[in-house]
Each structure stands twice: as structure tokens, then as C-alpha cells.
Structure 1
Amino acid sequence: MNVIAIFDIGKTNKKVFLFNENYQIVWENAVNFPEIVDEDGFPCDDIAALENWIKSRLSEIKSFPQYILKAINFSTYGASFVYVDDAGKPLTPLYNYLKSYPHVLKREFYAKYKGEEKFAIKTASPVLGSLNSGMQIYRLKEENPTLFDKVKYCLHLPQYLSLLFTGQFFTDVTSIGCHTNLWNFKKNKYHKWLKKENILAKIPPINFAENTIKIDGDVSVGVGLHDSSAAIIPYTINFSEPFVLLSTGTWSISLNPFNDTLLTYEELKKDCLCYLQYKEKPVKAARLFAGNEHETQTKRLARHYKLPLDAYKKIVYNKRIVSKLREKNLKWHSSKLDKCKILKESIFDQRNLDDFESYETAYHQLMLDIVDQQILSTELVIYNSPVKKIFVDGGFSKNSIFMNLLAQAFPEMEVYAASMAQASALGAALAIHKNWNPKPIPNDLIDLKFYRN
């Protein structure tokens, strides 16, 4: 059986999948490494352990008599650089994008380049400190110039993993086009600050994600993708009518591949940004910390009602409860409040749990509050675009309350819960389809459940 191996590297779980030519998973393996610390004592991923695990899993895959390995690709979390020397060896730890950024350095940088507002608009990057991965390069250059001089290339994590097998240095647009401060979306090229700071020479040439490099005679190796951009590929391949993908997990990210309007500073302040798809088209996106809010508040509910943490899993959508809550006017009114504040602050946290007659009622109110935030976030990417469908994948796609409330909130849209096996890994496999798979791409990769408003 011909297969493709996809290494799907998250912040917590590191996974590898084998897909057959019909894009069904035929084998998988997962691991979770303990973090190590960088020179400042801040937690970070262990790049050496990751490298060893990938190489040993690949040796294992090659030993399977039932599989013929035809291709390899990578999808990983973004905003993480590996700084390598001439031989391709890492010179630093894999710094964590959650690490706080020096205030003085940040202030000096934006002062040099026309201020936060103008810079953020050009690069479609909200001001996020280390999450703007280009700022990590700037920090290394300013704080450790001797070490920086030894850096041959700055590689985003997917391209470093590809380098391990191809020996070739590349950049990929899905990594550089993701709140990195590197890309000028107005001019569709790198921002000029990279050249001024003598950094551009340390960014390797772009190789597009649908291209591959041959190794071992007949194995095609991709250059890797940023996982959020990889996850949208199955949808853009399967659906040609305009849609928004609401990808839910710790973050709920609304992605609109049919909206390439330039961002305003107001949108950036509301956590709106742009991604670059693997074929270079911009995707307008908006982030909401909804999964984290759900986790925090369900813990609070469990404590208050003395129930198990996962008690919410037994709660199903109850139209009568929703109607009663709306009649009582417990629902906040977004039109009268600061939308930036609503998107960033918990509404439910301000509620008195003694006001609710039961856990079930309180949980419905939590979902009403989260969906009200979600409406504001998703509307940021729908505005002025021809979208008629919303696909929801991830955790909230399985939540009947969330899905019913969302369908009611967008009566002019068709709202679907979408499910597929491992979206980002599948997207990384599909990106290089033409280089390993002679069969046509199946049209039933995504299962859909329609929710009526």
C-alpha cells in the first residue's frame, strides 16, 4: 500500500500519521515530551528530542512490509524559529512564543518603523510580542549579536523539520504570512525592515508548499506548512462556493479565504489578522479565546454545583431554557458596549451563579455568552464578502448548544458542523497530492451536519 507520512507537531502533542491514497489514516503514533528551559529558565520544546523521535518513527515506518512510503510532509504550530549554522545545526533552544518580550526593545523597534498602528496594518499583524515571530529574530540580533553572526538561516519549525531529510533550506509562505511582522501584505513581499536590519540575507528562499524534493530515489518531501493554514486546505479543495471556516479549540479562529480586503487598525485591535494560504492568497482571520473561556468557566460551574468537570458533556440544547434566559434579559446587549472589550473579557465571569436555578440553565447562559462573543468575532471576517456557508470544526462542532445558537445568529447562512480526521495533517498531505498520489482527491473527506436556524 502506498502511503504518505505526515508529522503533525502541536505545542502539546506530537503525532505522525500514515495516509493511504484515499486519505484514510492507516497508522498513527503520538508522543508528549516534557519541556526543557532556555537560557532564561523559560519553558520551551526540546528540539533534539523532537528530532530524534521523528527520525526513529521514520525508520519504523520504512521497516513496515505492508507500506510503501511515497512522501513525507510536516504541519506544525507557528511563531517558532530554529536558528541554524552552515551545517544546518541549531544554535539556540526553540524559543517559546509565549515568552514575554522586552518592553524597551519593542518600543524602540516600533519607533524606528513608523509606530505600532502603521506597522501592524502593513504586516497584518496585531502587536503580540514574541507571537510576532519576526520580533524573536530582532531580539536575538539585538541581545546576542555575536551568536546572531553565526546564524546562516532562520527557519520556521516546519521548514527545519523538512531540512532534516532534504538538506535544503527553504521558507514557506504559510509560515511567514501568519502574524509574523515579516510580510508586507500591501506590497506582497517582505517588509523593508528585514533588509535595513541585515536580516533578510538570513531568510532562505521561498519554496511553495505544493512543491517537493526527492530523496532516497522516489520519496517526495514537502517543505512543511503552518498548521492553521494546512487545516483549511481540505475545505478549499472540497468547496468552491464562498465559506467561512470556524476552527475551534483553545482558540476559535474564523477564517475567510474569500476576503482579501486589507485590515484596518480597528480590526487589528479586535484580534483580526491575515494568513497566507499555501497558494499565496490571503485569508482574513479573527481570533477569540473561546475554548479557553469554556474550560475556565466549566471548572467554575463544576465547583459551584459540586459536579464532575465534564458534566457539560451531558447537556443538550434546550430551546425552552434559551427562551427563558432571553426573556429574563440576562443576555448582554453588544450594541451598547465596547466591542473590543467584549471580545477580550469574559462576560459570564461577571454573572452570579446563584441567579441560575440549575447547572443546566447556567451552562446554557455560558454558551449564550460565548456565542455572542463569537458572532462579533466571525462578523469581522464575513463583512463585505459573499459568504453563504459557515463550517465549524473542532471541539465546539460537537456541542449542540453552540451549533444551534450559531445557526440562529446567522439566519442568512447555512451553518454546518464539519468533521474529518486530523485536518492539519490531512491538509499537509493534500498540499503535495500531485507529487505522490496518482488517484483523484476523494470528494467525501469532510462529514457535514446541517443546523437549521
Structure 2
Amino acid sequence: MKVAVLDIGKTNAKVALVDTDRMIEVAVRTRPNRVLQAPPYPHFDIEGLWDFFLDSLRHFHAEHGVDEISVTTHGACLVLLTEAGELACPVLDYEHDGPNGLAEDYDKIRPPFSDSGSPRLPMGLNAGAQLHWLLDTIPSLRDRVAQVVTYPQYWSGRLTGHFATEATSLGCHTDLWLPQQGRFSDLPQQLGLPMAPLSRASDVAGRITAEIAAATGLPVATKVRSGLHDSNASLLPYLSQLDGPFSVVSTGTWVICMSMGGDSPALDPARDTLMNVNALGDPVPSARFMGGREYELMKPETAAATGAEIDRVLSSEKALYPAIEPGSGPFGGCRGGWSDPGMTPGEKGAALSLYLALVTATCLSLIRAKGPILVEGPFTQNDLYLDMLAVRTGQKLFVSRSATGTSIGASMLCAPLQGEGLRLTERQTPTEALRLSIYGDHWARRVSLN
């Protein structure tokens, strides 16, 4: 079976065509996930994404054939729809700081962390805060809203005409869901907003509409799965394949660490730990930071480091300290930077890779992750990151050989894992393990003193 996956990350959107017999991507098309800086507030380019998706589906079907469609998206995003299924307001970018202005009022109505597993986050990272702010600032919006849908279900709904909500997106620090009880919190009722019906991620949302079939060339019988949150798409391939405790590190704009079967942690909202919900509906202790964003902000023009530059960084303990994005992560509120701004570009590239690994290791420690660590996404191409992560955690480290773990996971909503099963490569013990360990200890001491 060939499954076309609509995969919307915070930075980039892609359509990946997954061959589920071999569990590989046979074709991928990408474009930036643009935020339109236009009134009434910064919002996602929904129509630009829609045109890209239709064009990609048309292209993939003509070249390879498409049997089903699945969807996965970033979190912290809800869509408010009218009775006609149209946008009641533009889809707010969660990095807009507008909701901060009503933080005091919102804090009075949001559920406690002990119930929601959702830490209090800035801007619109708590999707409930987005809803609260939108209702307060847009006249008559509440009267226009017929239903609120989660982001993956907006896209599967637009393809089929059947909209829904789903637990992996609701459980992504929205304040709208109670993970341990598997139900909505009372926040939607307090806000007076109707939530769309619940679906499971693997449910068939419906078949594509006649208009979509005409626009893409796909048969009108083409099924569309409801869809899920992208970090949970990365987690899904392992849920039925691995025994015992393990953790998954999903890398991208956000680095999300998820622990399965580990010790029960006392989650600390001040360190940006939280309770996610996996595709089976189970709570998942998690921690995260904006690792991909920090990489883009701090990477030098030439990030590739020579062996000599890596040696100098490890020998002199040149470093990058947290946090670069201080609004989230285990070191939120800290202001970090280079220990030596005069480092060469290669030295900065090496120190940046080590920094990202050390913050990831901190996240895994906070959620008391046990067992092997499985790394997904673009950081799998960074050897220094992987070496430091293996040394700092002391756990076996496996790297996904899939180009886009989110797409593989989302395709599994249509077909179970087949063929080779999990495509993982175990990392061998780094030759510089002792020096990496010493460097990590020094970095941690410096961070604890700040």
C-alpha cells in the first residue's frame, strides 16, 4: 500500500509517500510552513498549505499511485470553524505573544497541572490560552463558532467533510484534556465553545470528496485517516514492536523526549515536563525544548567541525550554555550563550552539537527514562550529538534509518508495521567517550551554578 502523509511541522510542511510494504518513503515534497504577518494577528498560511497538498497528491498519484491518506501535524494548534466548515478566524500562530496580555485572567480558569499534565507556557503554547484570547479580542467570534477541531483533524476533515478532535493533539499541553482520565477538562465548557466529536487517530475520517477527487485524480473511494500529533507519530512504530522500557527522542523544531515503561516521574512544570497522550490513548511522561529552533539561531555559517576543532572544544571546554530559547525547555528563564564568542565557526558548530545533546539528556533524566533511546528526525545526521547523548545517558542508543519518522508513524494508521520492521541502527561506544563524559560533567556543573 502507498500512503500519502500530510506532515505539517512548525518550520516545514511536507507530503511523504510511504510504501507500507517496505516502510520507506518513496517520494517527499516540502515547503516552508509560512506564518503570514498580517492582520488580525500572525497566522498560518492555510490556503498556501492546501494548494501545496493538492498539488503533491496529484503529482504522487500520477507518478506512483496513492491508496490512502494520513495526516500528522505539530501541536498547540486548534481551528475554529463555522457551521459551513469555514474558518471562523485565521489559525493563530502559537508563537504570537498576544495571549500573554490576558495571562492573569486565563490562569484563573485553567485546570491545575496535577490534572492536565500541562505546564503553564508563554504565548499561545497552551492552546486553551489561544481560545481564551481569541474570544476576548474578536467581537462576536463565539457566535460564529460551530465547532473547534484539532489541527490534524482539520486537514482530514477538509479532505472528507468530517471534522473531529483527537487525544494526541488534545493532550499536547492544551489545558483541554485530562490524560489520566481520558476526557475533556472543563475548560471548553467554561469558554462556552463546542468541541468537535472525539475520534481515534486511526479512525477513517471518511473518503475524499468529489471535489478533491477531481482536483487530484485520486479515486473517490480513497480513505483518509483522522490523524495524530507529530511527536506521537514518531512514537507509534515502537509501541507494538518493543518490550520493556524505552524512550523516543523526536527531533525537529521541537526536540520531544517521551518515556515508555520507565519509572513514574514527579513531573515539574517549571522544567517544561508534561504528560502527552499516545495514539493508543495512554499517558506518556514527556519533556521538550526548541532544539531545532536553537540550532537555526546559533549555527555558524560553516557548522562542520574538523577533528582538530572538536579536540580544541573538548580540551578547553568551550561551550554553549542554556537557554537560547528561554521561553521553554528545562532551562526556561535562563539566558545562555557562548562561553567564548571568539570561537571559530567549526568550534561553535561542535559546541552547539554538544549543547543540544546535553539538553536532550537533561530532558530524559527529568522524565526518568529507562532502557534504550531511539532517536528520530534530522539530529540523527549529527554524529557528535549522538555520541554525547549516548555517553551522557549511559543507555544504548539507536538511530532511525527512516528519513521522516513522523511520516512512517502516520502511515501506520493505515497499515501495521511490515517488512523489515523497525529500521534502527545501534550506535557503537564513541572512541572519545571519556573526554565526552568529562566535558558533560563540567557543562552540567557550570549550568547548575547559573
Alpha-carbon displacement from aligned partner over 1:325-384 (angstroms, at most 9, x marks no partner): 46x9x899xxxxxxx9856535552x1345x6x665565555444444333222011x2x
What amino acid does structure 1 have at the position aligned with 2:396? Answer: E
Counterpart-to-counterpart distance in 2, 1:171 and 1:404: 39
Trace 1:38-117 onto structure 2 (pairs within 5 A): 38-40=38-40, 42-64=41-63, 67=65, 69-113=66-110
Alignment of 1:207 with 2:199, yes or no, is yes
Alpha-carbon offset, residue 269 of structure 1: 0.5
The aligned counterpart of 1:448 is 425
Alignment of 1:380 with 2:366, yes or no, is yes
Counterpart-to-counterpart distance in 2, 1:178 and 1:34: 22
Deviates more, 1:27-36 or 1:186-195: 27-36
- Please list every run of 5 or more consecutive structure 1 residues that lacks an aligned counterpart in the other structure: 300-308, 333-339, 435-439
Trace 1:240-389 onto structure 2 (pairs within 5 A): 240-259=243-262, 261=264, 264=267, 267-299=268-300, 309-310=301-302, 312-316=303-307, 321=312, 324-325=315-316, 342=331, 345=334, 347-349=336-338, 351-353=339-341, 364-381=350-367, 383=368, 387-389=370-372
Q: Percent identity?
A: 24
The structure whose Rg is larger is 1
Question: Is residue 73–residue 429 contact of structure 1 (8 Å, CA) maintained in 2?
Answer: yes
Trace 1:391-402 onto structure 2 (pairs within 5 A): 391-402=374-385
Counterpart-to-counterpart distance in 1, 2:95 and 2:336: 25
What amino acid does structure 1 have at the position aligned with 2:418? Answer: I
What amino acid does structure 2 have at the position aligned with 1:249? Answer: G
What amino acid does structure 2 have at the position aligned with 1:221? Answer: V
Question: Is residue 73–residue 428 contact of structure 1 (8 Å, CA) maintained in 2?
Answer: yes
> TM (normalized to structure 2)?
0.81
Find the residue that maps to 2:274 and give its secondary structure: strand
Counterpart-to-counterpart distance in 2, 1:27 and 1:359: 34
Alpha-carbon displacement from aligned partner over 1:267-307 (angstroms, at most 9, x marks no partner): 110111121111101111111233444444433xxxxxxxx
- Please list every run of 5 or more consecutive structure 2 residues that lacks an aligned counterpart in the other structure: 208-218, 322-328, 434-450
Trace 1:130-279 onto structure 2 (pairs within 5 A): 130-144=124-138, 146-199=140-193, 202-215=194-207, 218-259=221-262, 261=264, 264=267, 267-279=268-280
Alpha-carbon displacement from aligned partner over 1:51-98 (angstroms, at most 9, x marks no partner): 23323433444445x52x321111112222221112211121111111
What amino acid does structure 2 have at the position aligned with 1:172? Answer: E
Find the residue that maps to 2:409 and give its secondary structure: helix
Alpha-carbon offset, residue 196 of structure 1: 3.0
Across the two proteins, how many residue pairs are aligned to each other? 411
Counterpart-to-counterpart distance in 1, 2:386 and 2:60: 39
Question: Is residue 274–residue 284 contact of structure 1 (8 Å, CA) maintained in 2?
Answer: yes
Alpha-carbon offset, residue 179 of structure 1: 0.7
Question: Is residue 257–residue 283 contact of structure 1 (8 Å, CA) maintained in 2?
Answer: yes
Alpha-carbon displacement from aligned partner over 1:233-270 (angstroms, at most 9, x marks no partner): 12334323321112223332211132584754xx1101
Counterpart-to-counterpart distance in 2, 1:236 and 1:342: 29
